[in-house]
Structure 1
Amino acid sequence: MEKEIVLQSTITCPNCGHQKEETMPTDACQYFYECENCKEVIKPKDGDCCVYCSYGTVACPPIQEGGKNSCCS
């Protein structure tokens, strides 16, 4: 049975704490994200492939599929 991939993730800005639900891209990692509240451009933490893996409620689709940073290597 194929695992269902979740595309909705709520990002929490590490600068101001603002949260917003976003739809993750399925074909690429999102390395930059601009907070709509404070306009801070956030980047992933060291070791994470994208902003969803660092600050989202759900890991990005390639990681959900069992990949290991496959979308960024």
Structure 2
Amino acid sequence: MSDAILESVLTCPHCGHSKQEIMPTDACQFYYACEGCATVLRPKAGDCCVFCSYGTVKCPPIQLERPCCG
């Protein structure tokens, strides 16, 4: 995974709180609790994880054009 960017800034669509996070390389992250408003974020329809929906960078498997969360 050396070609993938592993850090992404997640932004809550409810309160606008942003935080830089390190993405897992071996699993999808389906839930993320916002530290600003405590809303639990879930992926949007058609996205595999919260990073693909709310992050500045897509998850590593998607970046590398590999299957994700099969």
Q: What's the TM-score once normalised by structure 1's chain length? A: 0.90
Deviation at 1:12, TM superposition (A): 0.4
> 1:43 — aligned with what?
42
Q: What's the TM-score once normalised by structure 2's chain length? A: 0.93
Q: Which runs of 5+ in 2 are unaligned?
A: none
Deviation at 1:62, TM superposition (A): 0.5
AA aligned opposite 2:69: C
Percent of residue pairs identical: 60
AA aligned opposite 2:10: I
CA distance in structure 2 between the partners assigned to 1:9 and 1:58 by the alignment? 5
AA aligned opposite 2:44: K
CA-based RMSD: 1.4
- After the TM superposition, list the runs of 4 or more consecutive aligned residues in structure 1 that deviate by more than 6 angstroms: none
